[in-house]
Amino acid sequence: MTSHPTGDELSQPTPPTEESPSSYIPGRLLHRSFTHHPASVLSAKASTLFLSDGRSILDACGGAAVATIGHGHPSVLDAISRQAQDVSYVHTQAFTTPAAEDLANLLLEGQPGGLDMAFFVGSGSEAVEAAMKLARQWHFERGETQRVHFVARQQGYHGNTMASMSLSSNVARKIPYQGFSYPHVTHVSPPFAYRYQRDAESEEDFTNRLVQEVEDEFLRIGTDKVIAFVGETVIGATAGCVTPPKGYWAGVQAVCQKYGILLILDEIMCGSGRCGAPFAFLQEDVQPDIVTVAKGLGGGYAPIAGVLMNRKVTDVIRNGSGAFVHGHTYQAHPLSCATALEVQKVIRRENLISQCAQMGKLLEELLRREIGGLKSVGDIRGRGLFWAVEFVQDKNTKAPFDPKIGFGVKVQQDAFERGVAIYPGAGTIDGRRGDHVLLAPPFNITRGELETVVEVLRESIMSQEALHG
């Protein structure tokens, strides 16, 4: 039997071996940028990355909220090796594997929120595309073939493929692709209190106004034309860890139900334990029809995403055509499923979701105490181990920095130089790029590591304030 390391053992990094190459020469691999080459990582253990130039980096963002159990967990490495030896690949047209079946059963044990079945794909964008098609097929099978429209939200992100990009509101990523998208998508205001709640507006009035806007949009499009409302339960990268006001999701769900519109919650970033519960929607008063999950599902050990659906969805298709008219060569890939299965078992065995909730409280406390008073820190928001810090030029007016400064990116770069990786993001404020950074460390990050992260963040913010304040 494999013995599993404790949180403390996991946090002891093992540096690269003597034989490791000490540097890398940029070659033919295309990164996002043609001109800027990212740091090369030779190895990683727990929350620490070891670079080819000899530096070590404390990963306070889990990549992009991906790493949940840290790197190099021995039982996951064993599971990967066992699955590779058992069977590396079969096509789902004719075959299944225990790994894929067990993963679906584990995730849906007790039918959380009424979720009934799972469909596994390779990436978050693929999951969102599949969710869109599943929702469309559901209406199609019920004879409502006129439904083609999706309502999503400003400041949301759902992926980079054509249809998922159409749901997204990340302005910069869409610029070269105008007219290159799924045409039947419109966006309403996000439940983003810091930027969208009016002065003197109560939380209840804010919620009611947002829900009314959703209903008005359904009526404007035609309530019999809308397939689904799509939103991140807790908004991730674009707006930066935005939790909805009380009653928002219950209100949106009620409006969806009134008009036979499906509710799709995107939990690719905020789900899989990241917010301190197995699904973020379990912390809200809502039962979505379809949920997408990804990043934390495989914890970065394998590319995998999932589309989870309730009985309302499965019943119609099971009793109709009997098949989801969609599929990919690598869906329910055995290696990815076996890997994610073990990651999810580790999370349960090591009680990492409640650890995430506890460490999240500590992180919030540290952030508010150590950086809350800094003059450029406009807002600190989040839940679980999913936190964002929004930067502003003027705290009173909430005016953002000149986008040319790239304040958030500069803070990220400075923190990296000091040995801590954080994730930069940018919402849109009055048509301009805003600035925030995102913290989403592995759930088993230690107290000492969290203190280091916040200390470094404070130094980095202060150094940028000195230059641009």
Give the nearest distance from C-beta 128 to ligand PMP in angstroms: 5
Cβ neighbours for 99, distance < 8 A, ≥ 6 positions apart: 83, 334, 337, 338, 341
What tokens appear for 230 in the block?
């799509």
- Interaction pattern, residues 338-367, with ligand PMP; x per rule: CB under 6 A: ------------------------------
Please, which residues bridge with residue 228 across strands?
A: 150, 262
- Cβ closest to ligand PMP, residue 291 vs residue 366: 291
Candidates 50, 138, 157, 443; binder of ligand PMP (CB under 6 A) is 157
Task: Return the residue nearest ligand PMP (CB atom).
Answer: 124
Strand 48-51 to strand 435-439: parallel, antiparallel, or no bridges (unpaired)?
Answer: unpaired
- Binding segment toward ligand PMP, per CB under 6 A, in 27-35, 74-82, 154-162, 410-418: 154-162
Give the nearest distance from C-beta 157 to ligand PMP in angstroms: 5
- Cβ closest to ligand PMP, residue 51 vs residue 269: 269
- Cβ closest to ligand PMP, residue 303 vs residue 434: 303
- Cβ closest to ligand PMP, residue 58 vs residue 234: 234
Residue 268 within binding range of ligand PMP, rule CB under 6 A: yes
Q: DSSP alpha helices (H): ranges in 201-299?
A: 203-221, 248-258, 295-298
- Cβ closest to ligand PMP, residue 226 vs residue 237: 237
Strand 290-293 to strand 48-51: parallel, antiparallel, or no bridges (unpaired)?
Answer: unpaired
Residue 294 within binding range of ligand PMP, rule CB under 6 A: yes
- Cβ closest to ligand PMP, residue 132 vs residue 415: 132
- Binding segment toward ligand PMP, per CB under 6 A, in 76-84, 263-271, 273-281, 419-427: 263-271
Give the nearest distance from C-beta 4 to ligand PMP in angstroms: 28
Candidates 217, 232, 289, 449; binder of ligand PMP (CB under 6 A) is 232
Please report how many Cα atoms fall inside a 13 Å half-sphere around the Cα of residue 216, on the Cβ side.
9
What tokens appear for 168 in the block?
């997204």
Nearest Cα to Cα of residue 336 among 121, 166, 167: 121
- Cβ closest to ligand PMP, residue 164 vs residue 393: 164
Candidates 13, 24, 63, 64; binder of ligand PMP (CB under 6 A) is 64
Residue 236 within binding range of ligand PMP, rule CB under 6 A: yes
Residue 158 within binding range of ligand PMP, rule CB under 6 A: yes
What tokens appear for 15 in the block?
């540096």
Residue 121 within binding range of ligand PMP, rule CB under 6 A: no
Q: How many CB atoms lie within 10 A of CB 8?
A: 11
Nearest Cα to Cα of residue 46 among 337, 405, 469, 448: 448
Asked whether 190 and 242 are in contact (CB, 8 A), the reply is yes
Please report how many Cα atoms fall inside a 13 Å half-sphere around the Cα of residue 409, on the Cβ side.
10
Give the nearest distance from C-beta 393 to ligand PMP in angstroms: 27
Candidates 44, 51, 103, 128; binder of ligand PMP (CB under 6 A) is 128
- Cβ closest to ligand PMP, residue 11 vs residue 169: 169
Tokens 């019999």 belong to 224
C-alpha to C-alpha distances, 432 to 117, 118, 142, 181, 284, nearest whole angstrom: 41, 39, 43, 23, 31
Residue 269 within binding range of ligand PMP, rule CB under 6 A: yes
373 CB burial (10 A radius; 0-12, 13-18, 19+): exposed
Nearest Cα to Cα of residue 438 among 295, 252, 316: 295
Give the nearest distance from C-beta 273 to ligand PMP in angstroms: 15
Give the CA angle between residues 220, 191, 150 to the nearest 5°. 40
Give the nearest distance from C-beta 19 to ligand PMP in angstroms: 33
Strand 428-429 to strand 56-59: parallel, antiparallel, or no bridges (unpaired)?
Answer: unpaired
Which residues of this chain interact with ligand PMP, rule CB under 6 A?
Answer: 64, 123-125, 128, 157-160, 232, 236-237, 266, 268-269, 294
